[in-house]
A and B are shown apart, each in its own frame.
Chain A
Amino acid sequence: MTTLDIVGIEKSFGATPVLRDVSLALGHGEFLAIVGPSGCGKSTLLRIVAGLEAADRGSVRLDGQPVDALPPKGRDVAMVFQSYALYPHMTVAQNIALPLVMRDLDRRQRLPGWRLVSAATRAARRRIAGTVAEAADMLQLSALLDRRPGQLSGGQRQRVALARALVRRPRIFLLDEPLSNLDATLRTQTRNEIAQLQRRLGVTTVYVTHDQVEAMTMATRIAVMFEGRVHQVGTPEEVYRSPASLAVAEFVGTPRITVLDARLAPGGVMLGGRLWPAAFAAPPGGGAIGPADIRVGVRPEGFVLGDPAGPGMLAARVSHVEYLGSEGLAHLLLDAAPRGAVARIDAGLAGRLRPGETVGVRPDPAGLLLFGPDGRRLDARVGQPSSAMAEAS
């Protein structure tokens, strides 16, 4: 059980800043997913924690102790690489055993054949074989111990990499996109296996991925990174329900959040030709509410579809309907949403709706997320638009 603190890490490659003042804290046994688009610096951060890369500034602490001067070996961390990085000339058993061999045997004991002359080496080798068998058993690799990585499928290689990481019970697990080389079915299955394994072993884990679904489904907390900065850290629910920035809101959640153009107006927000009364926790724009352009995010489940003539409805044209069996998704074109809108609808409606049809769509005020001109979230409670205003416009 180990805590991990990442404090004020900065890193540049040449003139290009990769990490800017990144700080994260993980408690004992926590599973943190770092998620972000490729090039956001998440892998570099993981490599700095592993000790494979040195930070320009800042510090990595395990159990409160800075480990910045230690090589990877001295940190007792284990890492699973995107390519798995298995040793192709070793069998599965030898691959899994390597961290133990390097840790438990000295240089002389590692010589091939030394076990013939030393009883202590024989005993150590036996212990290692036992631990390897346990790890292999945990990951259903027992039947494959004598194979070489080249004879294994992608999913099996991935499990070997996991076994090699967990076999010596490291203080920290670091996983760098471990599922991205697997096909979709296997990815879903392995996702659950890794999450369960982590919970069972209780090892503090940092999991880097560009796939927000992985992050949401596996981690206890998520850190969302863009361009070397952490935009938000929170539970999957916090990040989904109250994203800190428009970038986070757009990155997290499938299908993507719908972004509507809106303007601040006295007493609320002008959206779709109506005034939606809004109470701001802190006045946006540094005090006075100006007529600034803002954006409003609506999750797919935050839309209500109905008769275009109904109260508070915005007219929208159906461009495409996805029927998913238990529910459906309606892709809509409306004036306020330049990039289109996606609404979650019930399966019955999805069966009836035809592309080209005009429908009414109304965002649920409780689900509206307001973002200022700088993309940051505006903390506001939005109420129902007045129908009087609707008629006036």
Chain B
Amino acid sequence: MTGKPGGGRGWLAWLLIAPAVLGLVLFVLGPTIAVAVMSLTDWQLGAAEAAFVGLDNYAALPGDRVFRIALANTLVYGAIVTPVSVLLGLGLALLVEGAPAGRTFFRSAFFLPVVSTTVAMAVVWEFLLHPSMGPANLLLGTLGIAPQNFLGHAGTVLPTLAAIGIWENAGFNMVLFLAGLKSIPRELYQAAAVDGADRPWERFWTVTFPLLGPTLLFVVVIALLRSFKVFETVAAITQGGPRRASEVLLYTIYQEGFGFFRIGHASALTMVFLAGLLVLALVQIRLLDRRVHYR
């Protein structure tokens, strides 16, 4: 073998990456292209034929009331869940990291919601928040507050689902922050102590927070993506109700596609959703990544 490295062995390289490429094409690229094509048709699930309708499905979206409600609800949900679960995750990470004992216990306990099945947990939450026999309302009762139908009332359902989402995500964010905290050199804290920054608050602003910058950015983006993907709790507890107050994008897509069989419409929704997530990822890579790594 002479010449350029790997010259004449291109087939070997392709063979070696074939499993990954095959998986990517079959499960990511292929379906995405399929959805993009379907979004340009009026295909109904089960129908024998479909007509090409161009961008009609997209053009209809701005005027679609359900889509507008779902989009707004998803954004509100993300705007509540992301900051609270990120801050809570950071707080928990700092507490767990500083705990004199039982770190493994706390770490596992707070991570439990992440590994548990959301649909099953949704049932538990439904019981906890039940208007008449739920412990949450019994607790309110002892305080003299009338029972609330948290999940059945249009004004409280989205914040309540967001609270469950926070419970679900804070532990995940905590674990990410714990990893970030571990990567901060101990000597920096010692240098800060010698330089006069030795109170907890001063340590946090001088060392911890700035050095968590890359982790923080990563956690915020991941938390946003995760919150925009809310589906299980809505599907299991509220089905988007009452009166579409908990209608979110993924649930709308699911309903349109598999409830009303309007695959063309659902595909257009999916493409919009995908585009949103892509923009988020690009913002992370292009704009922010460089600013938090201090180069």
Contact = CB atoms under 8 A, between A and B. Distances in A.
A, B co-complexed? yes
Max chain B C-beta neighbours (<10 A), residue from A77, A78, A99, A150? A99
A164 B195 contact: yes
B191 interface: yes
B196 interface: yes
B197 A89 contact: no
A81 interface: yes
Max chain B C-beta neighbours (<10 A), residue from A50, A81, A87? A87
Interface residues of A, number: 28
B78 to A, nearest CB: 28
B215 to A, nearest CB: 13
A99 B198 CA distance: 11
B294 A71 contact: no
A119 B293 CA distance: 34
A85 interface: yes
A88 B190 contact: no
Contacts of A81: 187, 190-191
Interface string B179-211: 000000101101111111110001000110011
A102 interface: yes
Contacts of B197: 98, 102
Nearest to B213: A89
A88 B202 contact: no
B294 A102 contact: no
Contact of A52 (B190, B202, B213): B190
Interface string A251-270: 00000000000000000000
B194 A83 contact: no
A86 B193 CA distance: 13
Contact of A148 (B191, B195, B206, B294): B294
B4 interface: no
A88 B294 contact: yes
A103 B195 CA distance: 8
B65 interface: no
B193 A85 contact: no
Contact of B185 (A50, A77, A85, A149): A85
Given A52-B190, A78-B194, A87 B295 contact: no
B193 A71 contact: yes
A151 interface: yes
Interface of A: 47, 50-52, 71-73, 77-79, 81-83, 85-90, 98-99, 102-103, 148-151, 164
Interface of B: 185, 187-188, 190-198, 202, 206-207, 210-211, 213, 293-295
Given A52-B193, A83-B187, A85-B190, 15 more contacts: A71-B193, A72-B194, A72-B198, A73-B194, A79-B194, A81-B190, A85-B188, A86-B191, A88-B211, A90-B210, A98-B196, A98-B197, A98-B206, A103-B196, A164-B195
